[in-house]
Structure 1
């Protein structure tokens, strides 16, 4: 019974983390919204522009990051292994390079807020006034 109580208590503590959600962020001067399909196209090298026509610069979190896994599960439908294979093929055939990586949420916000046309994703709990939420997938 004591083990069951500990497991229940641990699950209650972990549940706020499980409820966190990823959001797509953009530069404050960028578009106010973007569709899931448009984000997918940007992150899978199918498009190079934001909805307002501005040249896009997507940023990526590192492999193994929980927000990255959630983002790609919801938006591109690919896991880290599939993304690695996809980008290997893109690079090998000369079709493109993977998005530049931001080391963590703070670095992602700094890069997106300082470069017009940039887009990224972070956990919703990391949102602040330096960036604009443009999609909640």
Structure 2
């Protein structure tokens, strides 16, 4: 058991050192369906489940696995574990589900364009969708 402790500590340290590097890798653009307008504060509220409608429209946030580390660090200001914890509590207390996860910028853009109330984030801006904020 003592042999694995240094190995686990070294692995945890390596992960901790690598995460901040990825979290500052590039820009994050929060995009939305044409019918959605949100402030920077409201964007955070949408992605932690505190805001579910805007101007009478049900909001549909979606995560982007390719840009999630940057988004969480720059916009939500939490790590992936804390974000999962926020949503676990929301699910238990309020019965709401976390945003569905898309695999890439292209998938998020396509879903945002075709879904009324959709809000997502990408690593590169697209002329096809409304950009709410750049981080």
Bin the TM-score by the shorter chain.
Answer: 0.7 to 0.9
For structure 2, which runs of at least 5 residues remain unmatched after alignment?
A: 1-23
Work out the CA distance in 2 between the residues paired with 1:78 and 1:58.
17
TM-score w.r.t. the length of structure 2 is 0.74
Work out the CA distance in 2 between the residues paired with 1:134 and 1:87.
23
Structure 2 match to 1:49: 53
Work out the CA distance in 1 between the residues paired with 2:74 and 2:40.
9
Number of equivalences? 112
Work out the CA distance in 2 between the residues paired with 1:94 and 1:122.
28
List structure 1 runs of 4+ shifted beyond 4 angstroms. Answer: none
Deviation at 1:83, TM superposition (A): 1.0
Structure 2 match to 1:110: 110
RMSD: 1.9
Deviation at 1:24, TM superposition (A): 0.4
For structure 1, which runs of at least 5 residues remain unmatched after alignment?
A: 1-16
The correspondence for 1:24, drawn from 30, 53, 57, is 30
